[in-house]
């Protein structure tokens, strides 16, 4: 397994914390996810600096806007040197096509379509008027993404197998929501005032090894690495391909 298939999520609210983790991990793992929280807090210069250091950056913007605005944001991501950028497939074919067209200016930039976010369940879809379950909806949106020319999709580890069967061997399948068994996370206050371990808000999760075995091309690891007592050891477990 190429170490760049493991993307570390820099889910921090300030630049110093993100840079401290990158420094701690060193050069062994070179792919990082920058999402809306960190991008808003630290600004685009952090992305440029990570790229200049030789890292790949998965810019997880989840773009859901009119096609012209999506195209502009994708071009901005390409200019920063990002390797991947996400658009919301629920925005429809128009925004996905606009993203793919804009990315052609940047040969190293791949457009990924987010299917159903890993925090959502079937009841959440029903709340917004979608009668399909999560599995069905993920595949429906993945078909649209493929037709629009997207380089790949984002889905949970539990859908990786069905997505690989649908999309074939070439397209990327990036799976957030992976967890490492045995990693103790800090306790946090949960809804209702109780305390418990952090989950990251993922309702449809699995281990990185299950995701890769099912057909994922990449996994995104967050709190089970970044909040672990020894992040380097946690990443080594993934790279070694074993749960313990």
Q: Which residues are catalytic?
A: 62
Under a CB-based contact definition with an 8 Å cutoff, are residues 39 and 10 in contact? no
Distance CA 21, CA 14 (A): 12
Tokens at 79, concatenated: 């200019």
Interior/surface letters 74-110, b for 16+ CB within 10 angstroms, e for the rest: bbbbbebbbbbbbbbbbbeeebbbbbbbbbeebeebb
Q: Reduced to 3 states, what is the DSSP secondary structure of residue 172?
A: strand
CA 240 to chain centre: 21
Under a CB-based contact definition with an 8 Å cutoff, are residues 177 and 10 in contact? no
Enter the DSSP assignment of 5: G
């Amino acid at each position: 397994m190429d170490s760049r298939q493991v993307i570390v999520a820099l889910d921090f609210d300030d630049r110093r914390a993100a840079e401290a983790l990158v420094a701690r991990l060193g050069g062994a793992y070179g792919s990082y996810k920058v999402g809306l929280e960190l991008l808003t807090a630290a600004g685009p210069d952090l992305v440029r600096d990570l790229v200049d250091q030789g890292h790949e950056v998965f810019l997880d913007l989840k773009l859901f806007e009119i096609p012209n605005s999506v195209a502009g944001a994708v071009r901005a991501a390409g200019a920063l040197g990002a390797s991947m950028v996400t658009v919301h497939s629920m925005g429809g074919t128009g925004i996905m096509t606009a993203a793919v067209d804009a990315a052609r200016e940047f040969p190293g930039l791949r457009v990924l379509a987010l299917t159903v976010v890993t925090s959502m369940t079937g009841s959440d879809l029903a709340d917004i008027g979608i009668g399909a379950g999560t599995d069905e909806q993920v595949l429906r949106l993945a078909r649209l993404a493929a037709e629009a020319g997207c380089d790949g999709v984002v889905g949970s580890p539990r859908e990786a197998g069905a997505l690989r069967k649908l999309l074939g061997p070439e397209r990327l399948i990036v799976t957030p929501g992976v967890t490492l068994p045995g990693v103790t996370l800090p306790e946090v206050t949960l809804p209702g005032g109780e305390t418990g371990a952090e989950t990251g808000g993922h309702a449809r999760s699995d281990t990185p090894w299950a995701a890769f075995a099912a057909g994922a091309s990449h996994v995104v690891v967050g709190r089970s690495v970044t909040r672990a007592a020894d992040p380097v050891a946690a990443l080594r477990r993934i790279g070694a391909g074993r749960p313990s």
